[in-house]
Chains A and B, each alone.
Chain A
Amino acid sequence: MLEVEALTTDYGAIRALDGVSLEVSAGTVTAVLGANGAGKTTLLRTISGLARPAGGRVRLEGAEITGRPVEEIVRRGLAHVPEGRGVIAELTTEENLRLGGLWRGREAAPLDEMYDLFPRLAERRNQPASRLSGGERQMLSIARALISRPKALLLDEPSLGLAPVLVAQIMALLRRLADTLALAVLLVEQNARSALSIADRGVVLNLGRVVADQEPDQLQADERLRHAYLGF
């Protein structure tokens, strides 16, 4: 579904991504792990078009999307929940939701479907998004991404700042979504343990390079790797 091939991205003089390759199939969750500054966020931003790659390719459903404008990539069915959630505080919850589906028009998911999935959001539908708690904002940003019925979903550190109970809920939700909607989920996380608990595949980045690309069991079994890059 989503293929990344030898992707390279520079920030000025710094090479943030150095020949990263990975694959995410429909209905699976791939976790991207590693320390701060490893290039995880850059990876997502390059895939979704916010950052321009210096080399390499990205393919979605076989079609090449490398270097295309963000708006075009999104319209091919890729949704990116950015670092910090990106909830627009000045808009209401419902406005945020509606916004996500506008480009899809009639084929977007109906709002009620999202409210069924996230009842807490329904309670707050007309409140400014600034009033939402961290967990609610995470739900909103995911709902907002889902409403456009994407095929691939990129998430940047959804567990950030959330209590463990919520983290578990979000992870379980992501697993369900991958299974029921056949989404290709690319999940960037610092919280390696919770990410690996739902992932089909774990990719570890360090200094912009892939240092491991294995199944979660194998990653967790490799103590050296765990200590060096995953923090547990």
Chain B
Amino acid sequence: MSAAVARSTLLRSLLLTVLGGAGLWLLSVLFSSYNDLQLASGAFFFIVLAGLTVLIGVNGQISLGHGGLMAVGAYTVALLIGRQNWALVPALLAAAAAAAVIGIALGAAASRLRGPYLAGATLAFAVGLPGLADKFPGTFGGENGLTINPPTPPSVLGSSFPLERWEAWIAGAGALVAFFVLYNLLHSGTGRKLRAVRDDEIAASLCGMHVARTQTLTFVISAACAGLGGGMLAVVLQLAQPGAFPLQLSLSLLTAVVLGGLGSLAGAVWGAALLVLLPGWTNDAAHSFSLSQNVSANLQLAVYGVVLIGAMLVWPSGVQGGIRAIRGRIKPIERRAT
């Protein structure tokens, strides 16, 4: 890639990041405390979703285990800040790193697995990981999990600076960093490699690309994002517990990515908005329609299910919209109903 083009991507991403930062700052100042908290949540979900959409949409793999990777990040932060008194930024970096390490293992496996097998393996990871909290209750605090103290805003901001706005700033900063890094990655030579591997593994390897290495790398990157997002979650909620990372979380992440549009960072923004706003909407719907407790508790989940199914049926090339079928053969036969 020529230096001039590289510089322009860098400039563009810097511009977008600065604009995004300005927008976030403005919103955080205008928003109430509750909305600031939502902004913070949206930010850390964005980080996870950005990584996940790169994995699924740009590199053509699948993971149902990113909820578990978030848990790894959250617990790392909880342990380092809560028990070891680490500072915020190093702890967050460590969270990303810890998840990335697990990502190496999963990614190495992922590069050998296809579609359903990879889905099954990551599913097992997501369902099995919370078991560790029970196995080692001393370290991980069992069912109750670990709590940490809320992050205190620096004194330069004043003593009455709202906690939620500070959390929104932290999470927002992380989101901007993630955006900057991923944007540059996707528009670089490496980004092209990711897409090439997605579109035709055989052709890519014939061009000299290390397919397995690329796939593992992508998995690691998306794991790091999940870990960072999970770490942010622990900071914002001051809590890391197994109940916060059920299988549903991984599936809702998948839904958000599918809905937002696979492979696009902008889509990750929409997806994050969905994850943050949907609980509120379903609650409101439950109230205005006087739905029973059972129904309202499960409404959110039902929406995810419908979105996942609907997205696949209504836009059959949706998942593969940016992805061409790997073998791409013309299939003229139509299935007839018999």
Cβ A51 vs Cβ B332 within 8 A = yes
Are B330 and A12 neighbours in the complex by a CB distance under 8 Å?
yes
Judge whether B330 and A69 touch: CB under 8 Å. no
Q: In the complex the two chains form, what is the Cα distance from A9 to B334 in whole Å?
A: 13
Shortest CB–CB separation between residue B305 and chain A, in angstroms? Answer: 32
Chain A, residues 5-20, CB within 8 Å of chain B (1/0): the string is 0000101100000000
**Docked-complex contact B338 and A11, CB < 8 angstroms:** no
Residue of A nearest to B334 (CB): A52
Q: Across the interface, do A69 and B332 meet the contact criterion of CB distance under 8 Å?
A: no
Are A71's CB and B338's CB within 8 A? yes
Does A50 touch B at the CB level, under 8 Å?
Answer: yes
Interface size on B, residues (CB 8 A): 6
Bound complex: CA A11 to CA B333 (Å): 9
For the complex, give the distance between the alpha carbons of A12 and B330 in Å. 8
1/0 per position for A43-72, CB-CB distance to B under 8 A? 001000011100000000000000001110
Chain B interface main SS type: loop
Chain A residues, CB < 8 A from B334 = 52
CA distance A11 to B334 in the complex (A): 11
Residues of B within 8 A of A12 (CB): 330, 332
Residue B135, interface by CB 8 Å: no
Tell me, in angstroms, the Cα distance from A50 to B332 when the chains sit together: 8
Within 106-120 of A, Cβ neighbours of B (below 8 Å) are at none
Q: Nearest Cβ distance between residue B269 and chain A, in whole angstroms?
A: 35
Chain B residues with Cβ under 8 A from A51's Cβ?
332-333
| Shortest CB distance B335–A (Å) | 10
B336 at the A/B interface (Cβ < 8 Å)?
yes
Bound-state Cα–Cα, A9 to B330, Å:
14
Given contacts A69-B338, A71-B338, contact A50 B330 (CB under 8 A): no
Closest to B333 in A: A50
With CB as the reference atom, state the residue of chain A lying closest to B335: A69
* Closest B residue, CB atoms, query A67: B336
**CA separation between A87 and B330, bound complex, in Å?**
23
Given the complex of chains A and B, what is the CA–CA distance between A220 and B338 in angstroms? 45
Measured CA separation A52–B334 after assembly (Å): 7
Closest to A49 in B: B336
A11 touches B336 (CB 8 A): no
| Cβ proximity bits B320-333 to A, threshold 8 Å, 1 near / 0 not | 00000000001011
List, in ascending order, chain B residues with CB within 8 A of A52's CB. 332, 334
Q: List residues of chain A with CB within 8 A of the CB of B330.
A: 11-12
- Tell me, rounded to whole Å, the shortest Cβ–Cβ distance linking B42 to chain A: 42
User: From residue A108, how far is it (CB to closest CB) to chain B in Å?
Assistant: 21
Closest Cβ–Cβ distance, residue B316 to chain A (whole Å): 16
Give the shortest distance, in Å, between A62 (CB) and chain B (any CB).
23
B331 CB to nearest A CB, Å: 9
Smallest CB gap from A69: residue in B: B336
- Chain B residues contacting A70 (CB-CB under 8 Å) are 336
Provide the residues of chain A in CB contact with B336, threshold 8 Å.
Answer: 69-70
Known: A12-B330, A51-B333. 13 other contacts (CB 8 A): A9-B332, A11-B330, A11-B332, A12-B332, A45-B332, A50-B333, A51-B332, A52-B332, A52-B334, A69-B336, A69-B338, A70-B336, A71-B338
Rank and list the top 6 A-B pairs by shortest CB-CB distance, nearest first. A69-B336, A11-B332, A51-B332, A11-B330, A52-B334, A50-B333
Q: 6 A-B contacts, Cβ less than 8 Å apart?
A: A9-B332, A11-B332, A12-B332, A51-B332, A51-B333, A70-B336
